[in-house]
Structure 1
């Protein structure tokens, strides 16, 4: 039985700005605005406006990772994982289903980690969009984002 390491690559979309403005927006300290990708089988997988994508680990245009969180090891063979990804790309994670707050890279990373490990990604990542939507700024911006 072969085991494959699964890492969650975490990027700060705000490039540090959330640390400064987070308290104003969220009414509590916020370390970042998170983009995530899952690294397994030597490849980083993520979801965005172009659908499911894969790259060399750390190769996004977002620069360096904020943190690499080891999620564990999986027994799922790469071939089965790739078949699963094709199914997701044809339905649940098509490019036209992307939404910045409601169905994004973190939703995808969580789905992938559930499939590979039966484990969720950290709550501070998955809860942030809901916290933003409940903020005054989020209430104002959400209708605009829904139009995109």
Structure 2
């Protein structure tokens, strides 16, 4: 088999399950075919970026049935060499480094395809972020995406990965000896600030930004997506990247009419 090579294909999924095609014109002001997710299929496995570099036997990923399959070529690289390569690049593909627009599952698939067959994945998949951001609603979506990314990076739920070495287990913190009366006095916490001081501090930290030409629509949609995202993550059934896509999809479904959204 090594002499004949290994077939390499790209599984292409629509994370919106058809809603992007139905609602994108009214929501974004331009048609978008799908919200793409991809995985590279080779050696009987599908390799993809989801909270880290992962692999699953073909047909068993959490994304269901692919919308289409793209032939990428044939590789003569042995599986063990390829998976050594994945371990080398794993530090660049983690939950912390994930970026919805510039460093996502499709960027991973593109890099892997170039390693295996010397060619990348289709441009229409890689260009989706530019298509979205160049839409009339791009200025509204960008802050929402930034907030989602901040939430993804601060998510403390463990992310299982296939090719990142297991982190060293954290030993239990020993309980300190009881302090002497003199130590307790020195280490006593400072008195809690008054409610007025707390209110003043909070007001300072949440200073309103400059006037936004999109009015209240920006804040409304951001808040809705973040509430949806938090509720989905609390259920513990989806990865952060999948929860973000589902939250966006639910808000898109509620606001299929972009004009109605801005007037509400």
Instruction: Give the TM-score, by structure 1 length.
Output: 0.91
Residue number in structure 2 paired with 1:96: 96
Matched, 1:107 2:122: no
Instruction: Give the TM-score, by structure 2 length.
Output: 0.52
Residue number in structure 1 paired with 2:142: 142
Residue number in structure 2 paired with 1:21: 23
Alpha-carbon displacement from aligned partner over 1:34-79 (angstroms, at most 9, x marks no partner): 000000111100002x211111223222221100111110111111
Which 10-residue stretch deviates more, 79-88 or 127-136?
Answer: 127-136
- Is contact 1:19-1:30 (8 Å) kept? yes
3-state SS of paired residue (1:96): coil
- Is contact 1:9-1:58 (8 Å) kept? no
3-state SS of paired residue (2:84): helix
Which one has a larger percent helix, Structure 1 or Structure 2?
A: 2
- Is contact 2:30-2:135 (8 Å) kept? no
Which one has a larger percent strand, Structure 1 or Structure 2?
A: 1
By how many angstroms is 1:31 displaced?
Answer: 2.1
- Is contact 2:37-2:106 (8 Å) kept? yes
- Is contact 2:38-2:48 (8 Å) kept? yes
Q: Which runs of 5+ in 2 are unaligned?
A: 151-264
Residue number in structure 2 paired with 1:42: 44
By how many angstroms is 1:106 displaced?
Answer: 0.2
Q: Which has the higher contact order (CA 8 A, sep 6+)?
A: 1
Deviating above 6 A after TM superposition, structure 1's stretches of 4 or more consecutive aligned residues are: none
Larger Rg: 2
What is the number of equivalent residue pairs in this alignment?
A: 146
Superposition pairs of residues 125-140 of structure 1, within 5 angstroms: 125-140=125-140
Inter-partner Cα distance in structure 1 for 2:133 and 2:111? 22
By how many angstroms is 1:146 displaced?
Answer: 1.9
3-state SS of paired residue (2:32): coil
- Is contact 1:47-1:93 (8 Å) kept? yes
Residue number in structure 2 paired with 1:79: 80
3-state SS of paired residue (2:96): helix
By how many angstroms is 1:100 displaced?
Answer: 1.5
